[in-house]
């Protein structure tokens, strides 16, 4: 079976498609992923074949004559599109292929705004964390962040519990560091010392590292603190980790509503890893995700 995938120029959205692409390839199907020229290298990092489309809007893949032309030439039986790549649905309709849309942590499905042109909608967000209803097919979220190398420091057993800190806003370091000073856990942060604002004190239990790949680090953590990274938030949920979002994002309020995390200030960090109520709720979400159909199960259904 030939399967064409369409992704906008967003690593997080592409990574949400990758486990389904691997499941299709493992089952023996021919898979190609289409994207803008500047995004081809990112597609190749998933170990899939890339189809380079003409230049256009990098934020979305709303329309693409080249995608439709390639579909006419290659004649895929199934076209899988991220929600930010509606051009894939149009290409599917042009060649009579099954149109599949995949939703993830960055999407907020609205049951009143369903895409009638799509045959199947898959959602990698578990039911308890969805923003709305609608006719979607649940599929297990498999965290993926691209190729990584396990750093040397992570090959040694931690002497105490570990909390991952992932920030893009440098102004948030100070309040978080103040909150964790003398806390009984190690706070791991991938940041150069130059990113820490002048005057911010570095507690002894904060470890600055060159690389903190979530795929390698999350299984060793007791909790996660971030500033609204939706992909990291859903990955932390899949690992059953309590989390704190320092800013609002698409999924953070839903995780908080499920009792598996919090939204608020850095002052909440100190008790995050030791909160048993949060941990039980986070484990419940992890079990819910683990019980959902794996991508290979969905592939079998697509074939039928």
The pLDDT value given to residue 62? 83
Mean pLDDT of the residues in the chain? 91
pLDDT over 60 (residue 96): yes
**Percent of the chain, pLDDT > 90?**
72
Give the residue-averaged pLDDT of 175-182. Answer: 91
Q: What values do phi and psi take at 103, rounded to 5?
A: -105, 155
Tell me how far apart the terminal alpha carbons of the chain are, to the nearest angstrom. Answer: 12
Map out the domains of the chain as residue ranges. 2-146+292-303, 152-289
More confident residue, 301 or 79: 79
In this prediction, residue 193 has a pLDDT band, given cuts at 50, 70 and 90, of confident
2-146+292-303 with 152-289: one CATH topology? yes
Query: Looking at residue 114, what is its pLDDT?
Result: 52
| pLDDT higher at 53 or 111 | 53
pLDDT tens, residue by residue, 209-249: 988 899 999 999 999 999 999 999 999 999 999 999 999 88
pLDDT tens-digit series, residues 17-50: 999 999 999 999 999 999 999 999 999 999 999 9
What's the confidence (pLDDT) of residue 283?
Answer: 97
Question: How far is the C-alpha of 70 from the C-alpha of 53, rounded, in Å?
Answer: 9
Q: What is the pLDDT of residue 109?
A: 58
- Give the pLDDT band of residue 52 (cuts 50, 70, 90): very high
Homologous superfamily of domain range 152-289: Glycogen Phosphorylase B; (3.40.50.2000)
- 107-164 per-position pLDDT tens digit: 875 544 455 689 999 999 999 999 776 789 999 999 999 999 999 889 888 888 999 9
For residues 274-296, give the mean pLDDT: 96
Q: Are 220 and 154 in contact (CB under 8 A)?
A: yes
What is the mean pLDDT of the segment spanning 181-197? 89
Residue 166: is its pLDDT beyond 60?
yes
pLDDT band at 14 (very low <50, low <70, confident <90, very high): very high
C-alpha span between 59 and 89 (Å, rounded): 17
Identify the band that residue 98 occupies on the pLDDT scale cut at 50, 70 and 90: very high
Question: What's the pLDDT at 112?
Answer: 46
Inter-residue contact 147 to 45 (CB < 8 Å): yes
Q: Kindly write down the DSSP assignment for every residue of 28-86, as one continuous string.
A: T-EEEEEE-GGGHHHHHTTTSEEEEPPS--SS-----HHHHHHHHHH--SEEEEETT-T
CATH superfamily of this structure's domain 2-146+292-303: Glycogen Phosphorylase B; (3.40.50.2000)
Rounded to the nearest 10°, the torsion over CA 211, 217, 223, 226 is: 40
| Cβ(269)–Cβ(163) below 8 Å | yes
């Amino acid at each position: 079976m030939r399967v064409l995938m369409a992704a906008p120029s967003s690593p997080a959205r592409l990574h949400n498609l990758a486990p389904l692409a691997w499941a299709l390839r493992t089952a023996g199907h021919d898979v190609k992923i289409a994207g803008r020229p500047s995004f081809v290298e990112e597609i190749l990092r998933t170990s899939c074949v890339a189809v380079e489309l003409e230049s256009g809007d990098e934020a979305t893949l709303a329309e693409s004559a080249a995608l439709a032309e390639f579909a006419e030439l290659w004649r895929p039986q199934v076209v899988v599109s991220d929600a930010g790549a509606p051009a894939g649905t149009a290409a599917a309709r042009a060649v009579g292929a099954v149109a599949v849309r995949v939703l993830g942590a960055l999407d907020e499905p609205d049951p009143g705004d369903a895409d009638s042109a799509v045959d199947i909608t898959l959602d990698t967000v578990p039911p308890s964390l969805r923003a709305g209803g609608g006719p979607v097919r649940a599929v297990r979220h498999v965290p993926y962040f691209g190729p990584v190398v396990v750093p040397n420091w992570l090959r040694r057993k931690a002497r105490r519990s570990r909390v991952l800190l992932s920030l893009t806003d440098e102004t948030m370091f100070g309040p978080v560091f103040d909150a964790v000073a003398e806390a009984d856990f190690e706070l791991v942060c991938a940041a150069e010392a130059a990113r820490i604002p002048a005057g911010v004190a570095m507690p002894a239990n904060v470890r600055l590292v060159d690389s903190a790949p979530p795929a390698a680090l999350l299984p060793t953590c007791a909790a996660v603190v971030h500033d609204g990274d939706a992909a990291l938030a859903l990955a932390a949920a899949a690992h059953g980790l309590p989390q704190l979002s320092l800013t609002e994002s698409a999924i953070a309020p839903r995780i908080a509503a499920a009792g598996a995390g919090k939204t608020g200030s850095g002052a909440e960090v100190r008790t995050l890893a030791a909160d048993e109520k949060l941990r039980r709720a986070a484990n419940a979400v992890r079990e819910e995700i683990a019980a959902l159909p794996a991508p290979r199960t969905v592939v079998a259904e697509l074939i039928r």
